[in-house]
Structure 1
Amino acid sequence: MTAAVVTATVVSVDVVALSPALLPALGALLVLVGDAVVPGRRAWPPVAGVAVLVVGAGAALATALRPASDPVRTLCLPAPDGACLWTAGPASGALQAGILLSTAAALALLHGSGGGPRATGPRATGPHDTAVTTALLLAAATGGAGVAAARDLGTWLVCLELATIPLVALVALRGTRTAAHGALTLLVTSLASFALLVLGSALWLTATGDASFAADTVSRAWADPDRRSVLVLAVTVLLSGLGFKLSLVPFHAWTPQAYSTADVGTAAALAAASKTSAAAALLVVGQALAGAGIPDLRPVTVVVGAVVAASMLLGNVMALRQDDTTRLLAWSTVAQAGWVVLPVAALTDEGLRASAMYVLTYAVATLVAFAAVRVVGAGSLASTRGLLRRDPLTGGALAFALLVLAGLPPGVVGLVAKVVALRPVVDEGLWPLALVAVVAVVLGIAVYLRWFALLVAGPGDPTTGTAASGPAPRAARVVLVVGTGLLVLLSVLPGLLLGLLS
């Protein structure tokens, strides 16, 4: 009898279900301990890190392939509550896989490169920092994988911040004065974001009386006029906190500074893995609201719509004015963040799946673009002039990634992602927001075709059309090939990604 009572009061733990988050954490510990035991071995930490991330991504994909009616659940509380603090369905599993694989690609770009010509200074990130940089990226991956499945406020907050803070250290580790300034900007932004997220979580708890993201408590809070206003305020504050992580306007100012002062690998992690983690955190909140079955969420829709419209328009307009590759990609991130959040404005299950599809497509295309920048060398757009003729592999991969981001054939997956993102907005009758999205498509085409035109142009001035000196790292070439192959596969069979998320 006693044993039965003890069993009934214990929180259930499924280590296999937690493996997408546990494996990177264990990998970081292994790298740090191994480096302490056998110092000076520079090659193995990144290799071990990539291997751990790939295995973790495989576990996450296994979750993504399960039916939506049978999600992976663990950390379940005993009866009578029975709530599970870790719940991962197809969308959560796909996002976890995207976060882990994006981190693996960023680690490959970072390893032994120092980010190309810009990495100067006595403490520029290089081979001697491989254990530290690998551990930091694995820690960030742990946070990202955790936030995608977290269903309680505490774990959600801690994991979301864990997905960001290690990247601040990576920016600072570059060792230049501009990198220190970029890291400080990112740190202050992260702290402000965390403060807003804590406040939003407190308001959520006040409105719902529940320390988890549960649809039933949201529904009861919405039925009470007094608690409804607190809930709307909570969602607004949470969106503001997540806006910093996603680089949404008006919380975007840190993005160009951080990207342009960090090395290419860190910038890729900020652009892909970190943004996917933030999108996963947003979808956790969105799932609670969508599952509540609230008939009129117009106050929340207005807030989301305003942020989306501003991000799309300002991001594209500013990207059109950039002559630096990393700064253009930074402003592209701002515009693409608007597309990621656009279908969330509908607050439907279809909209949430569309958001997950878009952020995964964006992450792959952006990683390919950063890999190409790593090969050519970060700097002026003019350095990529005629790249398609001088280096068909790098130029072709970058050109295809730009077409995907623009949503133009043959980058069909980018076009499909935009159509899928627009559909929930149109279905819900949000025509002003749909009109802004159409304008953003035109501006985005101008942004990416401007760079595309340089790739296919003639050599022009020989002083501006040369690649970075020295051989390109093999890791960057691998990221180019694998990323482009995935984009081509998804462009031929876009239903693969749609089926994975449904």
Structure 2
Amino acid sequence: MSAPTASTLVTFDWLVLAPVAVPALGAVLVLVVDALAPRLVRLHAAVGLLALTAAIALAVPGALRSADDPLRSLCLPAPDGACLYEAGPLASALQLGALGSALVVLLLSWPGADPREPLRGGPAVVVSLVLAATAGAAGVAAAHDLGSWLVCLELATLPAIGLVALRGDSPAGRGALALLTTSLVSFAMVVLGAALWLVSTGEAVFAPGGVQDALADPQRRVVLLLAALLLLAGLGFKLSLVPFHAWTPQAYAGATEPVAAFLAATSKVAALAALLVVVRPLVGAGAPVLVAIGILAAVSMTLGNVLALVQDDPVRLLAWSTVAQAGWVILPLSALDDGAAAASGGYLLAYVIATLVAFTVVHVVTATPRRRGVVDQGRTLAAHTGLLRAHPLLGGALGLALLSLAGLPPGVIGLVAKVVALRPVVGEGQWLLAVVAVLNAVLGVAVYLRWFAVLLRDPDEGPARAVIRRIPRSALAALVLGGTALVATSVMPQLLLGLLG
């Protein structure tokens, strides 16, 4: 066998790769533990929590690095010198968002905490699927070659379909089928876009050098722009952007609250991370990409807010909220300047924290056993009547989350995130898009204040006081983690936005 050439050699740094490798290895370990000791269901969840905690600790150094000196691995030697894995402050912050949100989801899915019918397959399957999808979400944020990027993107998507289906009833089946169909269409568009990217740039990496060369050639420029639009459309499915959003309310409503939280948080981090890898080299691509992103942002936030305003099911309301917030997430990218990616990432992380807190409270309210003589309101806004006065911890956390999503004090992080998201748009003079965003900010206030008003009513008018007698420890831990992050970032927004470089 001949010796490998220098160009085939790469450098490995396992500590740099650990935020991706540790959750993946944790998923395998959970399945091994389940095969050896299937009755130790709490051990499966504990292994998952330990894997995510270790991965979070190992992702922190990348978030604290300078943007000019990111963590790199899988690098080719000179003269090529390209690195296939690169985790700067923004990529590492998104990895922390994916890992932290998955940690909250595992706490909400803790064995025995939910008295309703457990998910099919048991805790081992749930934990392994969450870990596998989270590994994909962490990997796609730092992957810079087409192969790793595609594999990590689909690894972040496919386990989520299984998680939705594990509930085992008809709504779950319909939600999983909608998500599966959407994922197949999305994957086809993404693969075609990746192929055109390779043809136009001549490189199997997302790098500005090949992009600038392609933009300078009129024929290659057309192919590159078509590739960018196909990639944007494919990732639009995963981000729940209009008109690629139809699966979102159906999948959220069919899933359990923890799985819906996973779709709203971890999966969205993966989708934006994948989009940023594509968009950042495209600075200077010009009008077609800018117009497409701007239209998607405006239509998504408008339709999402309008339909969220008429929802009575809090999970469906949060699903349409995801559609509206996805428009805000990509809004800065319509400027395609150097600060747009950080603004987009900052908005997404602020949304993730508030949404996780909201889903945690909804899960506790919905899953709590009903006492005799108390009407089961199920997933309705009426089930939260008087929650702020009857159960201040739950009501206060949900209230702060809703105010953060609305961008109102004391949810300061939501307000700051909206200002940061608008700054690149205003800086580029896109005044029509800025006006649409401001109008939607006002409409969003109506969406979340409608729910907030239910929390302020007399608790005797609703079932909250009679229903909720205690909060499961795992759900309380999730609430404390999310609530602490929400309070800390509202008091000091720089704790979050400062991580993004």
TM score, norm. by length of structure 2: 0.95
Equivalent in 177, 186, 191 of residue 170 of structure 2 = 177
The 1-side partners of 2:53 and 2:466 are apart by 31
Shift of 1:470: 6.7
Asked if 1 retains the 8 angstrom alpha-carbon contact of 2:386 and 2:461, the reply is no
Equivalent in 256, 266, 280 of residue 287 of structure 1 = 280
CA pair 31-136 structure 1, distance change in 2 beyond 3 A: same
The 2-side partners of 1:491 and 1:278 are apart by 25
Asked if 2 retains the 8 angstrom alpha-carbon contact of 1:182 and 1:257, the reply is yes
Shift of 1:467: 6.4
Q: Residue type matched to 2:249 in 1?
A: P
Shift of 1:229: 1.3
Correspondence for 1:352: 341
Asked if 1 retains the 8 angstrom alpha-carbon contact of 2:84 and 2:144, the reply is yes
Correspondence for 1:69: 68
SS at match of 2:332: helix
After superposition, the C-alpha distances for 1:273-306 in whole angstroms (9 at most, x for unaligned) are: 000111111111121113xxx2x61111100001
Equivalent in 131, 135, 143 of residue 136 of structure 2 = 143
Shift of 1:63: 0.5
1:124-203 to 2 correspondence within 5 Å? 124-125=118-119, 129-203=122-196
Correspondence for 1:109: 108
Q: Residue type matched to 1:21 in 2?
A: V
The 2-side partners of 1:326 and 1:460 are apart by 24
After superposition, the C-alpha distances for 1:423-464 in whole angstroms (9 at most, x for unaligned) are: 0010011111111100110110000000000001113534x5
The 2-side partners of 1:281 and 1:486 are apart by 25
Asked if 2 retains the 8 angstrom alpha-carbon contact of 1:115 and 1:265, the reply is no
The 1-side partners of 2:311 and 2:465 are apart by 19
CA pair 74-496 structure 1, distance change in 2 beyond 3 A: same
2:299 matches 1:310: yes
Q: Residue type matched to 2:139 in 1?
A: G
Correspondence for 2:200: 207
The 2-side partners of 1:188 and 1:479 are apart by 32
Correspondence for 1:381: 381
Shift of 1:225: 1.1
The 2-side partners of 1:252 and 1:179 are apart by 17
Equivalent in 334, 340, 345 of residue 323 of structure 2 = 334
SS at match of 1:349: coil
After superposition, the C-alpha distances for 1:468-488 in whole angstroms (9 at most, x for unaligned) are: 567432211111122111111
Correspondence for 2:370: none
Q: Residue type matched to 1:88 in 2?
A: A
After superposition, the C-alpha distances for 1:174-203 in whole angstroms (9 at most, x for unaligned) are: 111211111111111111111110011011
The 1-side partners of 2:453 and 2:162 are apart by 36
The 1-side partners of 2:496 and 2:466 are apart by 35
SS at match of 2:85: strand
Q: Residue type matched to 1:494 in 2?
A: P
Q: Residue type matched to 2:67 in 1?
A: A
Shift of 1:343: 0.5
Asked if 2 retains the 8 angstrom alpha-carbon contact of 1:361 and 1:414, the reply is yes
Correspondence for 1:87: 86
Correspondence for 2:28: 29
The 2-side partners of 1:334 and 1:480 are apart by 24
Shift of 1:95: 0.4
CA pair 113-355 structure 1, distance change in 2 beyond 3 A: farther
The 1-side partners of 2:197 and 2:256 are apart by 38
Q: Residue type matched to 1:38 in 2?
A: A
% of aligned pairs identical?
57
Q: Residue type matched to 1:313 in 2?
A: T
Shift of 1:113: 5.6
CA pair 299-8 structure 1, distance change in 2 beyond 3 A: closer
1:349-498 to 2 correspondence within 5 Å? 349-377=338-366, 379-459=379-459, 461-462=461-462, 464-465=463-464, 468=467, 471-498=470-497
Asked if 2 retains the 8 angstrom alpha-carbon contact of 1:315 and 1:335, the reply is yes
SS at match of 2:41: coil
The count of aligned residue pairs is: 489
SS at match of 1:211: coil
After superposition, the C-alpha distances for 1:314-337 in whole angstroms (9 at most, x for unaligned) are: 000000010001000000000000
Q: Residue type matched to 2:203 in 1?
A: D
TM score, norm. by length of structure 1: 0.94
Correspondence for 1:38: 37
Asked if 1 retains the 8 angstrom alpha-carbon contact of 2:89 and 2:499, the reply is yes
Q: Residue type matched to 1:399 in 2?
A: G
After superposition, the C-alpha distances for 1:62-103 in whole angstroms (9 at most, x for unaligned) are: 101011111011101233212110011000000001101101
Asked if 1 retains the 8 angstrom alpha-carbon contact of 2:7 and 2:80, the reply is no
The 2-side partners of 1:229 and 1:113 are apart by 56
After superposition, the C-alpha distances for 1:403-438 in whole angstroms (9 at most, x for unaligned) are: 000000001011000000000010011111111100
Asked if 1 retains the 8 angstrom alpha-carbon contact of 2:71 and 2:87, the reply is yes
Asked if 1 retains the 8 angstrom alpha-carbon contact of 2:408 and 2:414, the reply is yes
Asked if 2 retains the 8 angstrom alpha-carbon contact of 1:325 and 1:373, the reply is yes
Correspondence for 2:371: none
Equivalent in 235, 241, 252 of residue 248 of structure 1 = 241
Shift of 1:230: 1.2
SS at match of 1:75: strand
Q: Which runs of 5+ in 1 are unaligned?
A: none
Correspondence for 2:372: none
Shift of 1:7: 6.8
Correspondence for 2:14: 15
Q: Which runs of 5+ in 2 are unaligned?
A: 367-377
SS at match of 1:163: helix
Shift of 1:34: 1.1
The 1-side partners of 2:113 and 2:328 are apart by 31
CA pair 467-275 structure 1, distance change in 2 beyond 3 A: farther
The 1-side partners of 2:38 and 2:111 are apart by 17
Q: Residue type matched to 1:449 in 2?
A: L
The 1-side partners of 2:287 and 2:233 are apart by 17
